[in-house]
Structure 1
Amino acid sequence: MNAFENKRILIIGFVWPEPKSSAAGSRMMQLISFFKENGAEITFASTAAKSEFSEDLEGVDRKFITLNCSSFDDFVMNLQPDLVLFDRFMTEEQFGWRVKEHCPNAIRILDTEDLHCLREARRLAILKNKPFELNNDLAMREIASIFRCDVTLMVSEFEMELLQTHFKVPSFLLFYLPIWVENTSLNLPRFEERTDFVFIGNFLHAPNHDAVVYLKEVIWPLLFEKFPEAKMNVYGAYPTQKINSLHQPKLNFYVYGRAESSFEVISKARVLLAPIRFGAGIKGKLLEAMQFGTPSVTSTIGAEAMNGDFLWNGYISDSPDDFAEKAIELYQNKTIWEQAQQNGFEIIKNRFSKNIFEDSFLEMIKDKFENLENYRERNFIGSMLMHHFLQSTKYMAKWIEEKNKV
């Protein structure tokens, strides 16, 4: 018998997943596939509009839902899910109290993608020159959401530690589940068959936007001066006017927009460059670079929580001059490049293979089903926050709903 046979799972998506646009979309498709493989009946619901790049979600019931509307109450009461997965804390804020009220026995799981309050604190420190302040307004909301849920899926061990030490979140409310890689055998080009540098990322994601601007304006002039044969190819969904304006063929800096296949553009490149100055979670582009045998140069924040005790598949540098020098060295030196490639394969094998996590993930959910009330009794802060949040949000939502009728 499959682990989730006869179990109904409701996923409330912040957006409809676009796995070809972002790591977040790939992560969501992994979770959906995992639940399907284990026999669950899945319903995916979202307030967002679909785009032409949204996944079809074959074999999954789909539902458009509305904010501040009692129609969701009727929907969730009829569905009576056994488990509800909230895609980022904003969806838990919007619908968590309704799930609690109408499906009190459903397990509530939050998938953070990354720790938003950490990313925001770093963004303000870099772009606004503000002091790093982790106890920001976003943290008040995000940590409260984590406490209100029965378990939160974390992609970063660094962030799990931060939640436990800084915010005093109990360990039983957290579960480490990074983006994983299926064990697949890929026919990868050799060193001699690859050319150019590459960057890929969704430009709706602020860290990606900033990284490419920083790469073009600060790092690339240093690199191009020392290595004028170098060519930089930038790919990414939803490029802004600013990103498109960085396209300068005279400087061998090319902006191409959305890539049909991340495998095609990353595996053909010799080195991936990702000078990420702020952000959180783990970086899908760097994980794919390892998977596709492409060494990388990135920042400390870019590599955060990814390689553990293993050597990076390239170089980690926060200095523009050093970053440029390391990129050239990695590009030109076959011996260093091949060792870096092997380092990436070791990281994938030992830290991100699907078989490392699937059994423990199943066991964790099984344990939650069997001992849900015991866990909730241990989480008094979560019960208290849910009680007050339900009361305040419920009546605010009803007021908005009535106002919208006028």
Structure 2
Amino acid sequence: MRSQAGNWLAGLHYRLAHLRGLLRRGLSSLRSRGWRATWRRAWLQLRPPPPAPRIPLYRPPAAPFSAFAVPHADAPRASVVIPVYNHCEATLACLRALAAHPPAAACEVIVVDDGSADATAQWMPRVEGLRYHRRAANGGFIAACNDGAALARGEVLVFLNNDTFPQPGWLDALLATFDAQPDTGLAVAQLLYPDGRLQESGGVVFADGSAWSYGRFEAADDPRYGYVREADYGSGAALAIPRALFESVGGFDPRYAPAYYEDTDLAFAVRAAGRKVRVQPASRVLHDEGTTAGTDTGQGIKAYQVRNRGVFAAKWAEVLRGHPPPGTVPDPASLHAGQRRVLVLDEAVPRPDRDSASLRQLNLLRMLRARGAHVAFLPTGLAHGGEATADLQQLGVETWYAPFAASAPAWLRAHAARFDVIVLTRHHLASAFIPLLRRHAPRARLVFDTIDLHYLRERRGAQLAGDAAALRAADATRGRELAAMAAADLTLVVSAEEQAQLRRDAPDARVELLSNLHEVAGPGADFDARADLVFVGGFRHPPNVDAVLWFAREVFPRIRQALPEVRFHCIGAEPPPEVAALARQPGILVHGHVPDLAPYMDRVRLAVAPLRFGAGVKGKVNLSMAHGQPVVATTCAVEGMHLRDGVDVAVADDPAAFAEAVVALYRDRGRWRSQAQAGLENVARHFSLDAAAAVVQRVFFDPP
């Protein structure tokens, strides 16, 4: 009975202490942030829990201590520094999480014991691979971290609290931030509560030095917090910084000893040194906030959080004048208010390994991000695209999906007003959404991206097939497409021929030419190291189906008569039965979707583009030329590409001539090399990201 009464009293004491802490923090928030921001915080904490993360969270199973090994390397790229003071069970769990999912990067793990009085000194030396350092006397979090940094051998310092469970891939994602964006000086992880809710996805600092943990209590997968972006600071519970930079700014400033605000101060010092602070949401770390220091700012070590805010505000007073006032509730609109803001709408996120339109779109997004724009992407189908969505988020694109966007119209009603430029891809999306956007984003420039002129492609296909009904459908498409151009502020086309067509069909429309966008990959293997023929194109696109069937039935047998060992690699997603059946024909390999095309671009001798109808610019031709792979194509396939027959490309339109062109180029080493070089130069001149720079500036950044 006495034990039960003691437990009850202990529980009551905890609840009362927790309540006092909540009240104290609430009153402090009211004074510093005002009632709106305080109510927002209270609502987020007390409302029903948001959806759980898509990827299950890892927690090491609890078990008594036994010896194990952590990742270690003699020449580490990263040094993971874990300062500890007592709480040996938490440290043990953290190390077990590191051991369970070792990173791909070479690393070392350093535990700095700040004078613990528990079993830390007995357990840590028995962990294989761990570098254990015990300080002579307790000096606090900052002193322990700076000692760990002095011991580190890695190029990058990674500070990690011991009350954390690093998730699989966390360290590699942090390090990748420096690789992808070399101006990064500080990369911070996304922190999650043990129940899966967000604790912080970077932080916002207000003009008085107070701070906001961005995303606190929200869903971990909420698109507002899921993309790489600049942040004012990130929690020292999990952050990475190049060791040389850490040393050059003086490490964690001891004026904040023993702890709190040293991480915020470090972020400001990094920016003062000319580098960026970025949050990396792909690096996820569960943080049992308060395990080591509690949560009540009115007592114990947490009281230094209040004291050090004043120290920080005094040190950075001049910089803080440019920060928002306390009481502001941060959101994407306020965080990106100083940038050019661009929204792109399409049916789904781009998949550049599947179609050329996706590659063009992705490279456009890269160009916009490189020029400092904030970019959001709304797939109107609202499907999460898996790796394709994650790739956009890593590019820094605010990428939306269900259930966080209930419907495209509802999302646009709530968000469209914050954008300066809105791109509508394909005529049916433009027709559907332009009226809504005129109402909810009246100041935005509406750009209709045609991808290609659908009515032109449909008309040519109908004429080739002699299909009167299809010809009437093409005329209907023409009416819808031209109406979308009239409603938009500006229309993008991909070829000079289409631009000339619209001067006749839509003379009042403002039309800009933004063609395919490619990075020049280089020449690949030389003539003698290459063999075979290749075609690349998704088979949801009718011109590609017709092209492959025509080539396989009418052209390839003639080629095999002259080159009996040559093979034809047919690559493209979703081949229909009649294309799949071509694999029964000698020498034809139907691969379907191939995630990595580089081996086929760099090792196959020739590409073929036997298109008999279509419109726009053919990405398959650009792609091959960007890899130094010569192309044999029809007149239709090279339309609008600034190509010269016999110089940049070989052109033929009937089966016999096409086969003859393939055989001649396949056998002629000198001509092959000359055409390969000319193709590389053509892509650099007309289809590279540099070639498109002036158009992108006019369309997305210049005033009307």
Distance 2:424 2:442 in 1: 15
Task: Indicate if the aligned counterparts of 2:482 and 2:506 stay in contact, CA closer than 8 A.
Answer: no
Taking the aligned partners of 1:339 and 1:10, their CA distance within structure 2 comes to: 42
Secondary structure in structure 1 of the residue aligned to 2:400 = strand
Matched pairs, number: 361
Whole-angstrom distance in 2 between the partners of 1:94 and 1:169: 23
Q: Secondary structure of the equivalent of 1:223? A: helix
Q: Distance in 1 between matches of 2:678 and 2:605?
A: 15
Displacement, 1:136? 0.5
**Residue 372 of structure 2, aligned match among 36, 39, 43:** 39
Contact 1:231/1:252, CA 8 A, preserved across alignment: yes
CA offset at residue 55 of structure 1? 4.1
Question: What is the aligned counterpart of 2:487 among 123, 148, 152?
Answer: 148
Aligned residue in 2 for 1:188: 524
Q: Deviations over 1:8-35 (max 9, x none)?
A: 2111112221011010111111121111
Which residue, 378, 385, 400 being the options, matches 1:63? 400
Deviation, 1:310, is 8.0
Do the aligned partners of 1:18 and 1:55 also contact (CA within 8 Å) in 2? no
The answer on 1:285 being equivalent to 2:623 is no
Structure 2 counterpart of 1:335, one-letter code: G
Distance between the aligned counterparts of 1:306 and 1:340, measured in 2? 15
Displacement, 1:298?
Answer: 0.7
- In structure 1, the gaps of 5 or more residues are 372-406
The residue that corresponds to 1:258 in the other structure is 593
Pair 129,217 (structure 1): closer, same or farther in 2 beyond 3 Å: farther
* Structure-2-length-normalised TM-score: 0.49
- Alignment correspondent of 2:452: 114
> Structure 2 residue aligned with 1:175, among 487, 512, 528?
512
Q: Distance in 1 between matches of 2:669 and 2:539?
A: 32
Choose which of 583, 592, 603 in structure 2 pairs with 1:247: 583
Does 1:19 pair with 2:352?
Answer: yes
> Given that residues 18 and 53 in structure 1 are in contact (C-alpha distance below 8 angstroms), is that contact kept between their aligned partners in structure 2?
no
3-state SS of 1:54 partner: helix
- What is residue 394 of structure 1 aligned with on the other side? none
Matches of residues 193-208 of structure 1 in structure 2 within 5 Å? 193-208=529-544
CA distance in 2, matches of 1:295, 1:73: 45
Alpha-carbon shift at residue 293 of structure 1 (Å): 0.8
Partners of 2:644 and 2:523 in 1: how far apart? 27
How far is the alpha carbon of 1:145 from its aligned partner? Answer: 0.6
The alignment partner of 1:180 has SS state of coil
Moved more, 339-348 or 42-51: 42-51
Find 2:639's aligned residue among 263, 285, 304: 304
Output one character per residue of 1:244-267: Cα deviation in whole Å (capped at 9) or x when no partner: 11112x511110111122222122
What RMSD over aligned residues (CA atoms) do the two structures have, in Å?
A: 2.4
Q: SS of 2:360's equivalent?
A: helix
CA–CA separation in structure 2 for the residues paired with 1:235 and 1:363? 36
Equivalent in 177, 202, 220 of residue 556 of structure 2? 220
State the distance in 1 between where 2:480 and 2:406 align. 18
Matched, 1:362 2:692: no
Residue equivalent to 2:99: none
Q: Larger radius of gyration, structure 1 or 2?
A: 2
SS of 1:152's equivalent in the other structure is strand
Structure 2 vs 1, CA of residues 187 and 357 (structure 1 numbering), >3 Å: closer, same or farther? closer
Distance 2:409 2:517 in 1: 37
String of CA shifts for 1:257-306, please: whole Å, max 9, x gaps: 11122222122111111110111111111001111111111110100000
Deviations 1:22-61 (A, max 9, x none): 1011111112111111222222112223455634211222
Q: 1:330 to 1:23 in 2, by over 3 A?
A: same
Contact 1:218–1:320 (CA<8 Å) still a contact in 2?
yes
Quote the residue 2:35 is aligned against.
none
Q: Select 2:568's aligned residue among 225, 232, 235.
A: 232
**Cα offset, 1:134, TM superposition:** 10
Matches for 1:87-98 after TM superposition, within 5 Å: 87-98=425-436
**In the TM superposition, what whole-angstrom CA distance separates every residue of 1:333-353 from its partner, at most 9, and x where no partner exists?**
112211211221231232223
User: Is there any run of 5+ residues in structure 2 with no aligned partner, and where?
Assistant: 1-336
State the 1:179 CA deviation. Answer: 1.4
Q: For the Cα contact (< 8 Å) 1:233–1:253, is it kept in 2?
A: yes
How far is the alpha carbon of 1:223 from its aligned partner? 1.7
The reply on whether 1:104 has 2:442 as its aligned counterpart is yes
Q: Normalising by structure 1, what TM-score? A: 0.83
The answer on 1:274 being equivalent to 2:609 is yes
SS in 2 for 1:346: helix
Distance 2:623 2:409 in 1: 42
SS of residue matched to 2:353: coil
Inter-CA distance 223–133: structure 2 relative to 1 (3 Å threshold): farther
The residue aligned with 2:655 is 320
Tell me the secondary structure at the aligned position of residue 208 of structure 1. helix
SS of the residue corresponding to residue 547 of structure 2 reads helix
Cross-structure match for 1:54: 388
Asked whether 1:211 is paired with 2:544, we answer no
Q: Higher helix share goes to which structure? A: 1
SS in 1 for 2:628: coil
Percentage of matched positions with identical amino acids: 27
Q: CA deviation at 1:178?
A: 0.8
Tell me the residue number matched to 1:390: none
Shift of 1:135: 7.1
Q: Deviation string for 1:356-377 (max 9, x for gaps)?
A: 221342134344x3x3xxxxxx
Query: What CA distance in whole angstroms lies between the structure 1 residues aligned with 2:484 and 2:407?
Result: 18
TM-superposed CA distance for 1:213, in Å, is 1.1
Shift of 1:205: 1.1
| Matched-pair contact (CA < 8 Å) for 2:534–2:600 | yes
| Change over 3 Å in CA distance of 1:221–1:136 after alignment to 2 | same
Aligned equivalents of 1:218 and 1:122: distance in 2?
A: 20
Question: In 2, distance between residues paired with 1:254 and 1:46?
Answer: 34
> Contact 1:211–1:274 at 8 Å: present in 2 too?
yes
Deviates more, 1:352-361 or 1:151-160: 352-361
Aligned match of 1:124: 462
Deviation, 1:168, is 3.4
User: Any idea what SS the aligned residue of 2:443 has?
Assistant: coil
- Look up the match of 1:84: 422
2:356 corresponds to which letter in structure 1? A
- 8 Å Cα contact 1:43-1:62 kept in structure 2: yes
Q: CA deviation at 1:320?
A: 0.6
Cα 1:133–1:30 change in 2 (3 A) is same
Conserved in 2, the CA contact under 8 Å of 1:238 and 1:257?
yes
Q: Is the 8 A contact 1:273 1:296 kept in 2?
A: yes
- The farther-off stretch of 142-151 and 355-364 is 355-364
Cα distance change on mapping 1:70 and 1:134 into 2, 3 Å: closer
Q: 1:332 to 1:134 in 2, by over 3 A?
A: farther
Q: CA 1:52 to 1:217, structure 2 compared with 1: closer, same or farther past 3 Å?
A: farther
